[in-house]
Structure 1
Amino acid sequence: MATKDTLKKIPDWIEKLSKLLDSSIRIPGTDYTIGLDPIISLIPGVGDFVSYLASATIVIGIAREGVSGKVLLKMLGNILLDLLIGMIPVLGSIFDFTFKANERNMNLIREHQEEGKHKGSGLWVILLVLGITIALIVFGFFLMMATAGFIISLFGD
């Protein structure tokens, strides 16, 4: 396994899988392309998860090649967003045809490799997400307690 920030060349299989998932099929009469990702995502129940696993393969592959933690966090964010919004009926399908998480991830990798962008561990992103998660849990707890108090007051004397 390569160490952090040692990416020299993007492996061909990563480039090919990304293109297959996001831009391998040209819509006739247009310059717009789609890939297998939005098509697979149309399968109810499992499609989004299968697409997520394929995209996660790219993230794992590039992590093994050596790329900064910040790039990996951004890549994970893209595929998780694709998964979560993709699970919403109708809106998720439209989102899957337009978001192209793997294409975005390839751009992140190229920017990191060619321009030196997105360096660092991404610790601030982890701390931000952790802080927001804790705040949502606390807010949810207080909301639940207030709702329970309200329901109890309805049945009280």
Structure 2
Amino acid sequence: MANTTRIDNDPLRRIAGMVPLGKEPAAVRQRLEAMEHLLEGLFTIPGTNRKVGLDVILNVVPIGGDVIAAAMGSWIVWEARNLGMSKLQMARMFGNVGTDFMLGLIPFIGAVPDFFFRSNTRNLRIIKKHLDKHHPATVTVQG
């Protein structure tokens, strides 16, 4: 009897299979890079080289969208806390999330500063610097 292969069409299950679970630094790094990509670089605006993610898109929803984006950005900082980052680094990252949140609260034009001030990318850069120094085995070569 022939073996049959079932193709899973559920996109959430496929994504969940791609994102590693666990507390080891390499898994945390991959999760954080995936979240940053979702928030800041989901797709490229046609005719430009600028990427846009959920962080800018959520600004269309007044106040609620900013709260959701800030919560997702705070999750990135929470993961960084679990890596044992210093309080100064944590304060800088929460400052980035708070600035992004406050800029997004400006009615109608809040998406414009959010488009240029990419708090999640800044926070990921801080986290990568920490991981590269304290967990060098997690470094990935960008090609």
TM-score, with structure 2 as normaliser: 0.69
Cα drift, residue 34 of structure 1: 0.9
Aligned position for 2:70: 52
Question: Which structure 2 residues correspond to residues 75-94 of structure 1 after superposition, within 5 A?
Answer: 75-94=93-112
Say whether residues 1:14 and 2:32 are aligned partners. yes
Say whether residues 1:110 and 2:128 are aligned partners. yes
Cα drift, residue 91 of structure 1: 3.3
Aligned position for 2:59: 41
Higher helix share: 1
Aligned position for 1:155: none
TM-score, with structure 1 as normaliser: 0.64
Long gaps (5+) in structure 1? 1-6, 117-157
Q: Which has the larger radius of gyration?
A: 1
Higher relative contact order (CA 8 A, sep 6+): 1
Aligned position for 1:74: 92
Distance 2:31 2:83 in 1: 12
Distance 2:113 2:42 in 1: 17
Give a deviation string over 1:87-115, Cα, whole Å, max 9, x none: 01133221111111100111111223336
Aligned position for 2:12: none
| Moved segments of 4+, more than 6 Å | none
- Percent of aligned pairs with the same residue? 31
The number of equivalent residue pairs is: 110
Q: Superposition RMSD on alpha carbons, in Å?
A: 1.8
